[in-house]
Structure 1
Amino acid sequence: MRHIPEVRRRRLGDELRRLRQKAGLTSDDLARLLGWHQSKVSRIETGVSGVKDEDLAALLDALDVDPQLRALLGALAGTSNNGPGWWMAYGGVIPPQYRDFISLESQASSAHTLETSVIPGLLQTPRYARAVTRAALDGQPPATVDSLVEVRLARQEVLRAPAPLKLHALLDEAVLHRQVGGPGVLREQLRTLSEVARLPQVCVQVLPFTVGGYIGLTGPFVIFSFPRITDLDLVVLDHLTNSLYLERKEDIEAYRAAFESMRAHALSPEKSLDLIAGIGDAA
């Protein structure tokens, strides 16, 4: 069975439970229809376990689900995902929340992100990524740091895939001045940032100090959008020990509006590149 991010399992389970109740069936009724044990239905509906393609098809047939909703539920279950992702090989190093984040990132069509502390992981150089990882996980064995850096760099392949992730990054100007790893590492990072920001699938804008306070000043976030089905879009808020996923349409629209407000106050992509180059030359 493929790995399905917890946030997706919960959403899928909620939708299946709603459909079962709408059909006037108890979990025991549905289990008898399918020839399953009731506990299997319960595990799927509560998001405790994922669901195999053939089991999902049987569920949707039993509940007489229309084609449009079948497509949504299939996307939630990851039926278009062929096998486990590369990140599962790092299961002993990265926590489940991070694996879920990478899985969602790999399936998204676009990401809109605000960063207030460091360069986004998808745009980091190897030396900068290592410095960030060491600072964030002080005291970890070198082998663990090496693996985490490998993961961060491997994530960047989504920007160079046949259908690449479209990334729009808003950076607080403080990010460009923070000498993570020292002046040499920062100079190299800013040069690379200038190069990657010129890719057609990448847009970088800087929120200069002159903006003063702004709506996103309290913390970074990512808005993931997915191909064809907007109902799957979500917001990810990173905390020190966990990630919070926001799925309600009201929350997503609020963060989209916040992003657009900040984008309007940020420097244009061209002026942002000029500022990045100037800071890099002075670092």
Structure 2
Amino acid sequence: MRYGPAVRRRKLGAELRRQRELTGMTSRQAADAVGWHQSKVSRIETGSSGAKPADVTRLLDAYRVSDPELRALLGALCGADSTGPGDGRSGSRRGWWYAYRDLLPSAYLDFISLESEASRSRTLETTVVPGLLQTPAYARAVTRAALGDPPERQVEELVRVRMARQSVLRRPRPLELCAILDEAVLRHEVGGPEVMAGQLGHLLDTGRLPHVRLHVLPFTRGNHIGITGPFVIFSFPRIADLDVVVLDHLTSSLYLERKEDLRAYGAAFTTLRAHALSHEESLEYIAEVAADRDRTR
């Protein structure tokens, strides 16, 4: 049986394998220590079957892992989390998104679960405002445009999910968000003048939060590596090997976990940020765009 989204299972398995290897145990010795068959340990470490919270606890006990933060993180990766809006990142209930499992594709569920456990998110957007920074009206317009002519109930449920995701910016230890926005994000007319006015104002308000950094890439900066398309890099507390790059496509998402991919996208993000306006300059630029729109309305 599989527990938790696929990306989380692979990340969990890789870290449990690393903890086992730090003890010098073989997979057979680990299995003997917890009273399992060796194949179960192997399946967990490869992410093919996942692990229940109790399984993770038994393995961490066998590996003598006492660090409470590490144990909490690995427990959350196997689904032992209570991340409802405004909650912390560890506990014993399912994530709030479980209630939407029949509505959302598995790739989106994977994305939300990773986002909920991440400590930092670096994102490049070339056409639309990132989901964590959208207003309900803007999210509604984007959803309608993406799905064509969906039923209104479906639109509202998807918008509700997007708003719930934003709780990561308001929790006691909020997600650190660094977003690079191509100027096209600010210029595209999404939902009409009033919707855009509200969205730009919301960007300014959210951009003043201490854990949010915005960087605008003006058209005048010319071609840059960002034209390859948007991406998100999730980072997790303490364990760099859990980082993952997410590339969004029209019908699915691609998850990159190899170290060479992480290095390449991390370097690309650093280069893009160097070409973009500073956070302070970006807020001024967004305010100027908003003022220009008001004058022409």
SS of equivalent to 1:94:
coil
- 8 Å contact kept, 1:9–1:77: no
Q: Say if 1:248 and 1:180 are closer, same or farther in 2 by CA, change over 3 A.
A: same
Measured against aligned partners, the alpha-carbon deviations of 1:144-201 in whole angstroms (never above 9, x if no partner) come to 1110000001111111111111111100001100001112211111111111111111
Separation (CA, whole Å) in 1 of partners of 2:74 and 2:35:
24
- Residue type of the partner of 1:67? V
Q: Say if 1:109 and 1:145 are closer, same or farther in 2 by CA, change over 3 A.
A: same
Task: Name the structure 2 match of 1:57.
Answer: 57
Task: Name the structure 1 match of 2:7.
Answer: 7
Task: Name the structure 1 match of 2:285.
Answer: 275
Task: Name the structure 2 match of 1:67.
Answer: 65
TM-superposed CA distance for 1:57, in Å, is 3.5
Separation (CA, whole Å) in 1 of partners of 2:194 and 2:31:
62
Separation (CA, whole Å) in 2 of partners of 1:129 and 1:268:
26
TM-superposed CA distance for 1:76, in Å, is 3.9
Separation (CA, whole Å) in 1 of partners of 2:13 and 2:109:
20
Measured against aligned partners, the alpha-carbon deviations of 1:10-32 in whole angstroms (never above 9, x if no partner) come to 23335656859x75556xx8767
Separation (CA, whole Å) in 1 of partners of 2:216 and 2:160:
27
Task: Name the structure 1 match of 2:90.
Answer: 81
Find the partner of 1:263 among 261, 273, 276: 273
TM-score by length of 1: 0.86
Task: Name the structure 2 match of 1:205.
Answer: 215
Counterparts of 1:244-259 in structure 2 under 5 Å? 244-259=254-269
Separation (CA, whole Å) in 2 of partners of 1:104 and 1:25:
27
Counterparts of 1:79-228 in structure 2 under 5 Å? 81-82=90-91, 83-228=93-238
Measured against aligned partners, the alpha-carbon deviations of 1:194-246 in whole angstroms (never above 9, x if no partner) come to 11111111111100001111012111111111122222122111111211122
Where in structure 1 are there 5+ consecutive unaligned residues?
A: none
Q: Say if 1:280 and 1:265 are closer, same or farther in 2 by CA, change over 3 A.
A: same
Q: Say if 1:25 and 1:42 are closer, same or farther in 2 by CA, change over 3 A.
A: closer
Task: Name the structure 2 match of 1:242.
Answer: 252
Measured against aligned partners, the alpha-carbon deviations of 1:217-276 in whole angstroms (never above 9, x if no partner) come to 111111111122222122111111211122222221221111111111111222212221
Separation (CA, whole Å) in 2 of partners of 1:140 and 1:262:
35
TM-superposed CA distance for 1:101, in Å, is 1.0
- Residue type of the partner of 1:176? L
Counterparts of 1:22-61 in structure 2 under 5 Å? 23=25, 34-36=34-36, 40-41=40-41, 43-60=43-60
Separation (CA, whole Å) in 1 of partners of 2:281 and 2:17:
51
Give the aligned CA root-mean-square deviation in angstroms. Answer: 2.8
Task: Name the structure 2 match of 1:229.
Answer: 239
Separation (CA, whole Å) in 2 of partners of 1:193 and 1:131:
16
Q: Say if 1:70 and 1:253 are closer, same or farther in 2 by CA, change over 3 A.
A: farther
Q: Say if 1:134 and 1:55 are closer, same or farther in 2 by CA, change over 3 A.
A: same
Separation (CA, whole Å) in 2 of partners of 1:76 and 1:273:
37
Separation (CA, whole Å) in 2 of partners of 1:237 and 1:227:
22
- 8 Å contact kept, 1:222–1:236: yes
SS of equivalent to 2:226:
coil
- 8 Å contact kept, 1:12–1:47: yes
Separation (CA, whole Å) in 1 of partners of 2:231 and 2:283:
22
